Every structure is written in structure tokens, then in C-alpha cells.
Structure 1
Amino acid sequence: MLLFRHILLASHGTLGAIAAEDMALQICADNGMIDHLIVVPEFWQGMTGDDWLNNGVTRDQFQSYLQTELGREIDQQCQRLHRKISASACTYSSLIQFGRPDQALLQCTKKQRYDLVVLGSPRPRRMPDLMALRSTMLTKQLVTAMQTAILVAPYPK
């Protein structure tokens, strides 16, 4: 099996992303490096509750609460993946970015040379019991602009 020394892994803890994590661990060479990219999508920036919070102080408190919760969730994902990767012979590093997921991924590959980028496949449409947004990471623009090989881990059954 071909093993890679430096992998960029885009993961945010969903089932598809966890499949990508497992795939990255399988193909990372001993003493290899996995950089974990987690992106806070830009739509969170406008999430201030303006439509129902008309008091400036309350709106600011809500925004602070939301930022704290997002930060806590990101920290949990990073710690979970750090433990998982540390149990292997690979090294872990986290990269947290804000913006469009596809653009953040592309930016990372322009700043640093990677042997491989590993992503989870988008969640199938209309999955029961899942009301979450579908990922916008894997776009046609990204695939055509990317200079690094991309591995898309299949969605778990």
C-alpha cells in the first residue's frame, strides 16, 4: 500500500469526516504528519440574532455566547482527533480557519506542500434524522484549482 508522509485532512466530526479521518490514518506513513483543517463557514459571521434580538446588549451577549460555543465545539473536535492520531505513529497539527470551506482548503495547499488531501464525501441527500447543512468543501472550482492529489473517503454505510 502506498503511504503518504504529509496529509491535509479536512474534518469537522461528521460521519463522512470521521470516515476521512480513518482513511488518513490508514495511509499515513510512520512518523508522517496529518494537518487537520477545520473551517468555520462564513455564514456563522452573520449569525447575530438580529431578527429577534432588538436590544444591542442582548444581541452582543448572544453573539459572545455563540462564539464561545463554536470555539468549544472546535476544541472538542481537535482534541478528539489529536488523541486518535497520537495513538498511531503519526504527528498531529490543527489548522482552524474562517470562511468558505473550499477556499480555505485551497489556501492551505498553496501555503504548504502536501502529498495528499483527504476529505469525506458529502452526506447523501435527504438522510433521515439529519437536518444539517451539506458540506460545500468539494466543489468543481476546488477540484480544478487543486494542485495536490485528493482522496475522497466514501460515506459510511
Structure 2
Amino acid sequence: MKNHILILFILIMSGSVFSQCNYKITNRPDGNVMHYFNPQPVVKQEKAEIGIGIYKNITSGDYFLNVSVLFKKGTPQELTGFATIQTSSSDGISLPIEVSQLVEMNGRDLAIGLYKLTDRDLNILRKYTLKSIFVNVGSNLTGADTTMNKDIILNQLKCL
């Protein structure tokens, strides 16, 4: 009976661990295969919300940070410059933008940016939770201390 309970417990626990790894897969026309997570909110402010998620190009092995800014007020603008991240460690991360565009999703304006992660960035993000994130929206710096999902990147990197 104890063996049955132990096996049941292990199955339940393994299911809850794998359920966090609900990444999507895209086979792009250029031959690249991408594994990615939908962005999850980390900062909510009166004028905008910031969500982040990890993308991995399986073909090349490159990792990217997806930053999505949902505009609640004001004029939507593309992401420019760098994304700056502070984690619970003393090391900060500064990421140059690779891709930026404005989109409309469900009737709301959204700026999307992809920032390439280096090995150093990945080593930090695999060990520490988020403290803050700042991005350049047009010529303005937007961001704040993370108020939710501080361990989102840490958990997503474990899945990939």
C-alpha cells in the first residue's frame, strides 16, 4: 500500500512540474524551429503593463527575451535601445534590442521586442529572481520593480 501511495505521489508531483513547461513550438518558414513561452506580466502600472517570456531558437541554440508592453494610456511606440534587468543578485543585465514592432492584439496596442541573451545573461537568469525591468519605449524609459511572477524566467529556463 505504501508503494502505491508513493507512486501516486510521484505521478502527481511530476505532473505539476511538467505543467509549468507549457511552451509553444513554431516551425518558421526560414527553417528555424522556435520554442517559446507566451509573455507573463511582471510589471503593472497605470499607463502600461510589461510582460516577458523566453524564446529559444532550437536550430541555432540562441535564447531571446521577449518583452511585451501593453499600452493602457498614451501613444503606443516601438521599443528602442536596451532592456535593463536587475535580479536578486548584484549583477545587472543590459540587452540590446534585436527586433521591435507595434501590433494590435485583441483591440489593444502592444509593443513587442526581442533581446538576445548571452551566456552570461543566461547564467544570471538561471540562478536569480527578477527585481526590476526597464525598457526604452520610443525615447522614454519605462519600467519598475517587478510586482508579480518574479521567478518566471528562472522557471522557463528550467523547461528549455
TM exceeding 0.5? no
TM-score range, shorter chain: under 0.3
Higher percent of residues as helix: 1
User: Which structure carries more relative contact order (alpha carbon 8 Å, separation 6+)?
Assistant: 1
Higher percent of residues as strand: 2
Structure-1-length-normalised TM-score: 0.26
Structure-2-length-normalised TM-score: 0.25
